[in-house]
Structure 1
Amino acid sequence: MLTTYKHEPFTDFTVEENRIAFEEALRNVEKVLGKEYPLIVGGERITTENKIVSINPSNKEEVVGVVSKANKEIAEKAMQAADEAFQSWRKVNPEERANILIRAAAMIRRRKHEFSAYLVKEAGKPWKEADADTAEAIDFLEYYGRQMIALKDGKPVNSREGEHNRYFYTPIGVCVTISPWNFALAIMAGTTVAPIVTGNTVLLKPASTTPVVAAKFVEVLEEAGLPKGVVNFIPGSGAEVGDYLVDHPKTSLITFTGSRDVGVRLYERAAVVHPSQNHLKRVIVEMGGKDTVVVDKEADLELAAQSIVVSAFGFSGQKCSAGSRAVVHEDVYDEVLERVVALTNELTVGEPSTREMYMGPVVDKGAFDKIMNYIEIGKEEGRLMAGGKGDDSKGFFIQPTIFADLDPNARLMQEEIFGPVVGFSKAKDFDHAIEIANNTEYGLTGAVITNNREHIEQAKQDFHVGNLYFNRNCTGAIVGYHPFGGFKMSGTDSKAGGPDYLALHMQAKTVSEMY
């Protein structure tokens, strides 16, 4: 099997053949909207009376799917199934585990537009964003499969005369995967297959807003040959199912992507040792960001403006990596602001079923209300330059919004909004810009637009984020190219899609044999 890796290419929708194929995929998905999806526990399909109804955020009348909802009893049954499956799965040859991921990647690649079409419908993603989400899922499968093959024999250690020493990795047990809605396929897939390929078993609790995409993915894993009980599909309430599984004495690993508040609470719960628990739980959390694009006075100002717009408004700003803050040197502030406003006013917002739409909806009513509330706060704190309006009559649409002249400590500059809102602050000099960039509790991504080599070297040391980009936008990390994870309250900096990630799901074991 090949061990080289190259990331999945994005689809060029300016090519008519690709556009026609995607439109056909959308039509095919529309034919099966409203379908019911069961839970999957130990390979068994379970239908419950309580359901999660998945709604298209572009069109509140359109039901994407109806998914059975797990409860504590089903969660316990899933835990027992996962624990039982672990006893045999942990001994399966790592190459065979990796092969299942590679087969699943090939299956999704053949159905790429279908999965992307589900993302358009269920997550409200424009074509380009949906295609990138699906490509990233394929990347995670391919990359982690190859990484496991590289790690299967462990790492070299020294042996003395008369003894043979080995250092290798071993699985740790049952993993609870709590995945987010914003990368409903990519992050869900990555955080599911990393524990699987390392020999653990998984209880997958996807976000309640996007469970259909997760159900389709689990079907692919089964088709690729994953044994029963290795992955168990149990969407449900965080307060009921999520807490129960986090607290469970048989849980060995928890991997979570979501809000700061939920992540911190989960981290605290996981630290408690419960009766009959004989191990400490491992926790991998990614908890969001308040990310800054810094623009130096010695910068390509057109590049700066474009980088701010892409960072702020891609997928309606619903990315933990979104550039929701622009900190611009006072000498070029007005020029950059004016250009960003002009570019923003050209953006299209609406139902993302056509290729031309740049921005779709925000994910649901709760997100819409929260973002609109922040826009009202912004009107008090700064100067509204663009957008500021929302319409939730049919779907949850918010215009891309810019606020200027914000104090660096304003709420709009400190709190994660998770929507299409960017705030501008003025910096006296480059030192001041970096000081502002570091003044939040988050430390996920950042970008610096400058042609000053000295300032680039300074930012490498002083800009305190897990992913730092120069002369480009601060979103769009590619698996295997930009290992992703943040500092401070952005999480455990576990670097998904990087060379150290799989080891977090295993225990290192030293074996020494005397001759």
Structure 2
Amino acid sequence: MNQVPFSLSPRRAADRLPSPYRDEATVLQDLLSRLPASLSWPAAMDTARPWVAAVRESPAPFWAMESLLRDYPISSAEGLALMRLAEALLRVPDAATAIALTADQLGKADFGTPAASHHKVISGLSSSVIALSKRFLPDHDHEGGLFKRLGAQTVVAATVRAIQLMGRQFVLGRQIREALSEADGARKVQPQLRYSYDMLGEGARTEADARRYLASYHDAIEHIAKAGVRGAGPEGSDGISIKLSALFSRYEDAQRERVGDTLLPRVWSLMERAAAADINLTIDAEECDRLELSLDVFEALATRAAPRFPQWRGFGLAVQAYQTRARHVIDEVARIARTNGQRFMVRLVKGAYWDGEIKRAQELGLPAYPVYTHKHHTDISYLACAGALIDHADVIYPQFATHNAGTIAAIQSMAKARGATYEMQRLHGMGEGVYREVLKDAGVPVRVYAPVGEHRDLLAYLVRRLLENGANSSFVHQLTDESVPVDTLLASPLHPAAVPGLPLPVALYGFDGTSGRRNPQGADLAVTAERAVYEQAVDAAVVESVPEAPVGGIAATMTRLHGGFTAWNATPLADRAAVLRRAADALEQRQPEFCGLLVREAHKTLGDCISEVREAIDFCRYYADQAEATLASRALPGPTGESNTLHLHGRGVFVCISPWNFPLAIFAGQVVAALVAGNTVAAKPAEQTPAVAARFVALLHEAGVPADALVLQHGEGHTVGAALVAHPLVAGVCFTGSTAVAKAINRALAAKDGPIVPLIAETGGINAMVVDSTALPEQVVDAVVQSAFRSAGQRCSALRLLCVHEGIADGVIEMIAGALQELSVGDPSQLSTDVGPVIDAEAHANIAREVTRLEGSARVIGRAPVGLDVTGHVIAPVAFEVAKVSDLSAEIFGPVLHVVRWSGDADAVIREVNQLGYGLTLGLQTRIDSRALRLAAEARIGNVYVNRNMIGAVVGVQPFGGEGLSGTGPKAGGPHYLFRFCAEQTVTINTAAAGGNAALLAGTSH
């Protein structure tokens, strides 16, 4: 491979595109104002009506997507079951799990009566084999008798064949040779067809993945070139589509330097061969947070290509119309083309990953969505982008990928008015009916986007296409539904909705401007302007020295807090809640400042810091809401002539002892919970991180907490902490930390004379993730890397023990080893750093000692590289394979993962995990829904996460806390937490004492 030296241009002072988080209505008004005057939607409807009528009179072949969705819409139980089976069944290596998965999914649906009978193969299978499965398959995923097992295997085999058959309809060939042969056959019927082959490259997780995808792309280009399907240059030839994240596992903005060093030469090697063969090469679109980076990569490659291949016009990229910046992307691509004297191919698509973009914006608390929230808003954007492509036709060859008849007709009209050349595109296996009619006009070239790959590799692609095109509102779904009138199907999209289709991320928890909890604002560090604010805050951060509280002064402090309790407890509940809300607002305004301090004092990466500050804000708002909703006095029922009222009030002085791993969020959560319940607080932060605690205490005082209601007590645990716990005036202790210290606190409280003092403790855990053979290995490895190594493994919820089914263990373990090699370990103030140092020298020594022990007793799976220039208390993330679950007896609080293989009964694995005695977090990775629910019910564990990572519990969404050796409960950030900080009082008044029951008598006649 020709390794040409490359480097990306330095980071820009400002992004080339506007913010992705703009007001949707404003963006749409701008787009509508830019629509070409030649666009007449009524005229487009007139053109499209005959196409729709012809498709309905002569439906697409039974294997087409339209027919599949007609028979089994994804909104139905049958459609969902089919989708789940298509996504998972072909990759399951063992018969027992395949039987369990098939039984689980088919048991939820009635495949014997499809909505229509056109889909002959699937319907035939449904009415015979799938329907019979309910008699042969076990009721759950345990093995049945011999007869049932034989019957079940037969049904599973038939279902596998059906899924393979379905897959063949949407993937052109298993290898490029087969795909080229299939394309030649199709061209005998429709000679004007062109193809863009997609080698089904999902995002790489390892360097081995990336090299395999690179070899696959090279092989495809060689075969396409040899096939000699030539038109007038690359525009008339077949070509290839590539996915940048398949060529480099760390294709992301934070790894910009590595993208330049590693990815650019790989893409260049593909471009050289494509240009030499005069075929086209298109870069597929990816998620919003990579868009600016994609343009930087595209420009770097285009600039290099301009003098070397001046006649080649086959380089291009895809643009997703559902992104609110799509129109600007087209203008930017045109600018690059004009600057370099080039002409590019641009494929305009509606877009993939919509649901992922929505969820990311909600989770990060972003100001708006980077995509449109109404489908027809995306249609407006598509038409505006189409007009822009046609306007730039001197430097762009427009390629319109759509299956919407109305959109196709509108494009034809706009292009004809400008005399622009263009092509239409469709997905293989989709849109065949509409394009059968479009192709009757010989002047309209059509290119088929054709996936190529083995059946098991098509799973993610196929399910994504089903989801995108199977929604009830989609044109593809409604096309063959004759209950939908043609004019309804072709109705103009050019009318923006008055309100967004989804509440903004700020309103995720019901906030409407006056009520409900506001989702804390976050930041997208891929946006230059937002990132700069936080980087400046890190540079400006100063870790102030915090004086230690003298042990001899603790008695006076406790007396002061005890004296302040009466007034604070008597403060109206609404006023105490208002203080918390003011504190939340102030913290939100000062978020960069606190993030900078967290980076400097706690050695956290910037992304982790933003999440932590948002969690602290959330605690303040959530507990304020919960206090008003649950702690107010309330009347209780009783006999006539008396009143009964339940009152809750503070207990007195609470001692809150928090850890260094979340020095703001956990510290804040404990303190504000105690305060809003009416207690005064002696707050002892971890000795390693007092500065951020001191700054938050100052913020609370500014928000209205009296000085004698909250006092910071910085010092070592065995001195200051012990003295606080032992003081006679302590009315409660809230602690987060190790199990050993929690037990010591519990013993100290029990040994004291006087009242029985409650302890709220959240402690550690040997947190496990159980993975069966239906899980998607790439998703598993993503979850493992995040859960085990993010925050240097210094989270209570971090993954410590991975239990993988033996059927997929080799592949998962190999992928974990490769993923470890791609981690960046070092200075947490650098955006590129994935894993920073552990908290201090003592923690480093303890973890290093355990790693050395494991090196002598377990097999090293992989270890992240650490550069010679890295300083500080860094532990390289590492994974070991151990023999059995019981080999773990204690938690290693750092980036150390243990992996165990299992076979047989998943329930037995859960029993082994339960026997460890810890009960904090558990991950389950399985596509068998009934298994996930059953294992979760069997687990004696506080937080169970299915098919996702195990960290990042959100206040009010995933209340956090464990049982057994992992804590006392109740869960932090949950609806029961505040009650533990309260004492209860019931007041009963005999209202009839003074002469009788007047109220009763007043309503009684004699």
Would you tell me which structure has more strand in proportion to its own residues? 1
Within a 5 Å distance, the mapping from 1:49-88 to structure 2 comes to 64-88=543-567
Residue 858 (structure 2) pairs with residue 382 (structure 1): yes
Cross-structure match for 2:873: 396
Which of the residues 885, 902, 910 maps onto 1:427? 902
Checking the alignment, whether the CA contact within 8 Å between 2:635 and 2:643 is kept in structure 1 is: no
The DSSP-based 3-state class of the residue aligned with 2:801 is strand
Within a 5 Å distance, the mapping from 1:183-194 to structure 2 comes to 183-194=662-673
Displacement after TM superposition at 1:152 (Å): 3.6
Checking the alignment, whether the CA contact within 8 Å between 1:327 and 1:436 is kept in structure 2 is: no
Displacement after TM superposition at 1:254 (Å): 0.4
Which of the residues 406, 411, 419 maps onto 2:883? 406
Which of the residues 522, 538, 547 maps onto 1:10? 522
- Consecutive unaligned residues in structure 1, runs of 5 or more: 34-63
CA distance in 2, matches of 1:325, 1:101: 38
CA distance in 1, matches of 2:927, 2:865: 36
Cross-structure match for 1:272: 751
Checking the alignment, whether the CA contact within 8 Å between 2:642 and 2:989 is kept in structure 1 is: yes
Displacement after TM superposition at 1:435 (Å): 2.8
Deviation per residue, 1:467-489 (Å, 9 max, x gap): 01111111110001011100110
The DSSP-based 3-state class of the residue aligned with 1:492 is coil
CA distance in 1, matches of 2:783, 2:668: 28
Which of the residues 935, 941, 956 maps onto 1:459? 935
Cross-structure match for 1:111: 590
Displacement after TM superposition at 1:153 (Å): 2.2
Checking the alignment, whether the CA contact within 8 Å between 2:686 and 2:716 is kept in structure 1 is: no
Cross-structure match for 1:45: none
Cross-structure match for 1:50: none
* AA at the equivalent of 2:847: I
Cross-structure match for 2:825: 349
Which of the residues 787, 791, 796 maps onto 1:311? 787
Cross-structure match for 1:172: 651
CA distance in 1, matches of 2:946, 2:626: 28
Cross-structure match for 1:498: 974
CA distance in 2, matches of 1:91, 1:431: 52
The DSSP-based 3-state class of the residue aligned with 1:164 is strand
User: Which structure ranks higher in relative contact order (CA pairs < 8 Å, sequence separation ≥ 6)?
Assistant: 1
Checking the alignment, whether the CA contact within 8 Å between 2:827 and 2:870 is kept in structure 1 is: no
Sort the Cα spacing of 1:171 and 1:495 in 2 relative to 1 into closer, same or farther, 3 A. Answer: same
Which of the residues 656, 669, 682 maps onto 1:203? 682
Checking the alignment, whether the CA contact within 8 Å between 2:521 and 2:614 is kept in structure 1 is: yes
TM-score by length of 2: 0.47
CA distance in 1, matches of 2:924, 2:758: 34
CA distance in 2, matches of 1:406, 1:117: 43
The DSSP-based 3-state class of the residue aligned with 1:338 is helix
- Consecutive unaligned residues in structure 2, runs of 5 or more: 1-512, 992-1006
Checking the alignment, whether the CA contact within 8 Å between 1:293 and 1:323 is kept in structure 2 is: yes
| 4+ aligned runs moved over 4 Å, structure 1 | 388-393
Would you tell me which structure has more helix in proportion to its own residues? 2
- Bigger CA drift: 8-17 or 487-496? 8-17
* AA at the equivalent of 1:486: G
Within a 5 Å distance, the mapping from 1:91-106 to structure 2 comes to 91-106=570-585
Sort the Cα spacing of 1:426 and 1:398 in 2 relative to 1 into closer, same or farther, 3 A. Answer: same
Checking the alignment, whether the CA contact within 8 Å between 2:817 and 2:863 is kept in structure 1 is: no
Which of the residues 23, 48, 52 maps onto 2:535? 23
* Aligned residues: CA RMSD: 1.6
CA distance in 2, matches of 1:9, 1:474: 23
Which of the residues 706, 710, 714 maps onto 1:227? 706
Count of aligned residue pairs for this structure pair:
477
Displacement after TM superposition at 1:431 (Å): 2.4
* AA at the equivalent of 1:27: D
Checking the alignment, whether the CA contact within 8 Å between 1:171 and 1:199 is kept in structure 2 is: yes
Sort the Cα spacing of 1:432 and 1:137 in 2 relative to 1 into closer, same or farther, 3 A. Answer: same
CA distance in 1, matches of 2:715, 2:869: 26
The DSSP-based 3-state class of the residue aligned with 1:409 is helix
Cross-structure match for 2:809: 333
CA distance in 2, matches of 1:364, 1:185: 18
Cross-structure match for 1:472: 948
The DSSP-based 3-state class of the residue aligned with 2:846 is helix
Residue 617 (structure 2) pairs with residue 138 (structure 1): yes
Sort the Cα spacing of 1:489 and 1:405 in 2 relative to 1 into closer, same or farther, 3 A. Answer: closer
- Bigger CA drift: 186-195 or 375-384? 375-384
Sort the Cα spacing of 1:269 and 1:315 in 2 relative to 1 into closer, same or farther, 3 A. Answer: same
Q: Considering only CA atoms, is the larger Rg found in Structure 1 or Structure 2?
A: 2
Checking the alignment, whether the CA contact within 8 Å between 2:636 and 2:644 is kept in structure 1 is: yes
Checking the alignment, whether the CA contact within 8 Å between 2:803 and 2:902 is kept in structure 1 is: yes
Displacement after TM superposition at 1:155 (Å): 4.6
CA distance in 2, matches of 1:111, 1:224: 13
CA distance in 2, matches of 1:170, 1:90: 7
Checking the alignment, whether the CA contact within 8 Å between 2:767 and 2:799 is kept in structure 1 is: yes
The DSSP-based 3-state class of the residue aligned with 1:303 is helix
Cross-structure match for 1:437: 913
